[in-house]
Each structure stands twice: as structure tokens, then as C-alpha cells.
Amino acid sequence: MSRLFAILLQALAIALGLSGFWLPAWHASAQYHGGYSAAATAAYLLPPLLAVALIAAAASILGERGERLLRALLLLTALYLLYKTGRSLLPALPALPIFGKLAAIPLLCAASWMTAARLSPGLCLRLASCVLLGAAFYAVTPYAFLALNQAGRYPVFSLQSPYAQAANSRNTLVILFDETGPQFIAPLLQTAAGRKLRWADATVPAAGADTVNAIPAMLTGQRFDDVVPCGSRWLCSPTRSLSFDQLYAGRPDLDIVGFWHPYCAIRGLRYCRRITGVFYAPLARTFLCSPPYASMLLNCRPPVGSRDQALQQLLAAAFAAPFWREGGMLYLHLPLPHPSMESEENLQAHYLKSVGQASQVLGLLLDRMRARFGNDFSVVLTSDHPLRTEGWCGPGREYQGPGCHTGLPVNKKRVPFIVISPSLPPLPRMPLTNVGVFHGNGPPRAQGAAASSRSGPAAPMA
């Protein structure tokens, strides 16, 4: 076996081994969350091949020391492969703190350099083959899960769904305010009460920890706690997978406007618009920020003003829906009061400002509903998950720093469910959980207000 072939094989193992843990995931996320096409992301799959050529060329030019460096990099890649595989198989294991990882890196580099001098060429080739197989297995496993676990069809937003039982009206607007905790709903209720509208609210368990898994659970009645994007429409995990084209409209007059999920893959919709790029930086920047620890070195925040621009696009798409002419049902997923991540600022002040902005948007929509439908309408407000202070204030995150948690509640994984209507019954049938709240055959509902529910009169709040 030629020396050049051995160098190329090891360089290929290093490049694919190191990129196989983040590049396929970035590629799938860019299509699923960012809304980018496969053609737009295809060019970003070329850097690993370029890295193969550069690594092989450097090893050839540097001679014996270059080949030793190549073997050391191969050992580090194999260790990284073992680490990532172990973390995937045993997610409950505590992760090393960031300072522990930074301390371990130079020690592992020194150990790999010393060990590389003792590796035989045959052992290096076998190790390179194992790394290639391991990286390929890691990259294709999610798609195997998708093929094995994808089953079933799910009706969404039917008249039998729990949301519809709570909002008994011919014309219903459902607003999902992203990342809304039950402790922050007072401005929303004041907006409704100030317009002489009745309201009822309940605090229910969230359907998931994050938007990516909560909304599928709300739509299907199944938990999707460990899913990740696997393509433009697909979520997959070892236990349950979902393609959004498995969902179908449970009523013929359903309009959807949203972001982050491929809502328009749902079958049978009367109208659908998806706004892309919300909470998602331009493609080139997300690519550079996707390797491990890159976000600690680069500015990976979304562009300033991008959330408000997306909000205006979402509202414009919502106001263009047939719902306003023909009635029926409109689902609107808005990026408020979710932190924008666009700049460094105090999390509490930023979030409360976003809650105020959400109440202004709600007022705009309530006025539009009253002008169009008179007293024959209902508005449902809920959320995917509450404010995740523990995440935003974590090391390396957007709002880290002293006092980040100050004045903010602990995440108890509960969200509000609010119904607003001019003619709301005294005891509406509120859901007991947000899992399946939009599914055709949803979870049990409380007859009358649930234990954690309350209702408000058609008068301003005290």
C-alpha cells in the first residue's frame, strides 16, 4: 500500500471524523429551522473534502514530522468519536465544565503526539478505517431512526381538539406566543380586559422543553423530547420520529402562519405561510458557528432587528389569510416574547419589554377580530415552553453574566392557556396539559375550569 494512499486515508478519516458530528446536523437544521433549500446548503458540504486535500498536502510536505502529526490528529479524532458516541448513548452522564474541557485539550494533544511516534503504519490504517466507519454510522443513524420510527397520521386543529372545546366559536384565532411563562401574562389579560372582553386562563404542563419538541407534541399528542432535525420536514430520534407531511388539517377552513417548523408541509391547509430566517443567522454565519466551541470565538447572534422584521412579515402574512374574509380558524406562531439574542443586555429588562410588545400585538389582533367578527370570535393564547432562564444564563450563552437570573422565576415547565371572547361561558372546558392540545383526539379536558384556572369579567383588571 503506497505512502500517498495511507496519507489520504488518514486525512479523510480526520476530516470526516471531526465534521461528521456537526456538519450533517447543521445541514439538517439549516433546512428545517432556517428554511434553506438543499441546493443552498449543498456547497457547504465541500469544506471537508478541501480539508482532506490540505491535511494530506501538509503531511506530505512536512515529511516524517508531518506523518507523525497526521497520526496524532487521527488519535485525537478517534478519542473525539468515542466521546461523542458515549455522550449520545449515555446522555444522563454529567458533562465536563468548560474549564475542564479547556484543560483536557492540551493534555490530550500532548499524549496523542507522544503516542503517535509508536504507532505502526498498519495500526494507523486500521484506526483510520474504524474512524471512517464510526463517523459514517454516527451520521446516518438519525436517518435510520426516521425510517424505523416514522408511523401514523395525525389530524390537527379539528373541532374535537382540546383548544376547540375551550374556544367554542365559529371563528377562532390561536396565537402561540413563543417562550411565555405563566408569571408574565398580566399585560396580556389587561389587554383583553381593557377591551371589555371576557377571559379564562389555566396553567398547564408544557408539551416539551424547547420549541423543536414541544410543538410536535402539541400537534400529535405524542412526546418528542429527544428529537433533532433530520431534513427539511423531518424530526427523528431513537424512540419516535415525525415528518410534518404526516399531519393533516382536521378542518377545511384551517390557515397557518408560523416559523421554525415546516408548517406548510401539513396536508389539506386552506392557506399557509412560513417566514424563514427567524432566530437564524445568515447561512454562512451559521455554518462558521456550527463546529464545537466556534460560538465562543465568533459573533453568532442573529442580525440586530431581525426578530422585529420577521414579526412584521408574520403579521402581514396573517392579515392576508382567507380567515379574515371567510372565517374559520387561524393559527399564528409569533417570536414573542422569546429573547431576540441580538445583543448583550439584561435578560429581565429585555424579556419584560418583549412581553409588553406581545401585549401590543395582541391588542392589534383583538381589535381586528372585533371589527371583522363582532362578538362571534374566540382567541386562544398559549406557549410552547416558559422562559428558560437556566439556558439563557448558562456559560457561553447570550445573556450570561452576573445577575442574569435576578428577578426571573425558576423554570417549572408550565405554560399559560388563555381563552378570550366577548361571549365566553363562565366555566369553559380548559385542557389539563398542552400535550395534544391541537391534536384531533387530544388529552382529557376539565369540565369547567381546571384547578389551576381562573376567569375574568368583562371589565378592566384591578
Per residue of the chain (462 residues), give pLDDT as tens: 577 888 888 888 888 888 877 888 898 999 999 988 888 888 888 887 788 888 888 888 888 888 888 889 999 888 888 887 777 666 666 666 666 777 788 888 888 888 988 888 888 888 888 888 888 877 777 666 666 666 678 999 998 899 988 887 889 999 999 999 999 999 999 999 999 999 999 999 999 999 999 999 999 999 998 888 988 999 988 778 899 999 999 999 999 999 999 999 999 999 999 998 888 888 888 888 888 778 777 888 888 889 999 999 999 999 999 999 999 999 999 999 999 888 777 888 889 999 999 999 999 999 999 999 999 999 999 999 999 988 888 776 777 677 787 788 888 999 999 999 998 888 888 999 999 999 986 555 554 444 345 556 543 333
Query: Domain check: are 245 and 359 in the same one?
Result: yes
Angle at 204 between CA 394 and CA 411, to 5 degrees: 15
Query: Domain check: are 105 and 128 in the same one?
Result: yes
pTM reported for the whole predicted model: 0.87
Interacting residues of 101 by C-beta distance below 8 A, sequence separation 6+? none
Report how far apart, in Å, the C-alpha atoms of 427 and of each of 157, 197, 198, 374 are.
Answer: 22, 15, 11, 22
Of 87, 439, 62, whose CA–CA distance to 250 is shortest?
439
Burial class of residue 371 in the structure, from the number of CB atoms within 10 Å of its CB (0-12 exposed, 13-18 middle, 19+ buried)? exposed
Report if residue 37 sits inside a domain: yes
Report if residue 302 sits inside a domain: yes
Query: Domain check: are 132 and 169 in the same one?
Result: no
Of 130, 149, 168, the residue at which a domain comes to its end is 149
User: With contact defined as beta carbons under 8 Å apart, do 428 and 441 qualify?
Assistant: no
Report if residue 397 sits inside a domain: yes
Query: Domain check: are 236 and 310 in the same one?
Result: yes
Query: Domain check: are 111 and 234 in the same one?
Result: no
Report if residue 462 sits inside a domain: no
Interacting residues of 426 by C-beta distance below 8 A, sequence separation 6+? 455
**Residue whose C-alpha cell reads 442580525 in the numeric block:** 303
User: With contact defined as beta carbons under 8 Å apart, do 200 and 452 qualify?
Assistant: no
Angle at 269 between CA 209 and CA 233, to 5 degrees: 45
How far, in Å, CA of 417 to CA of 455, rounded? 11
Query: Domain check: are 68 and 179 in the same one?
Result: no
Interacting residues of 383 by C-beta distance below 8 A, sequence separation 6+? 176, 177, 178, 179, 180, 181, 206, 415, 416
Query: Domain check: are 141 and 160 in the same one?
Result: no
Query: Domain check: are 391 and 251 in the same one?
Result: yes
> What's the domain range around 338?
154-456
Of 108, 123, 149, the residue at which a domain comes to its end is 149
Q: Domain count for the chain, please give it.
A: 2
**Residue whose C-alpha cell reads 437544521 in the numeric block:** 29
Query: For residue 385, what is the domain's CATH number?
Result: 3.40.720
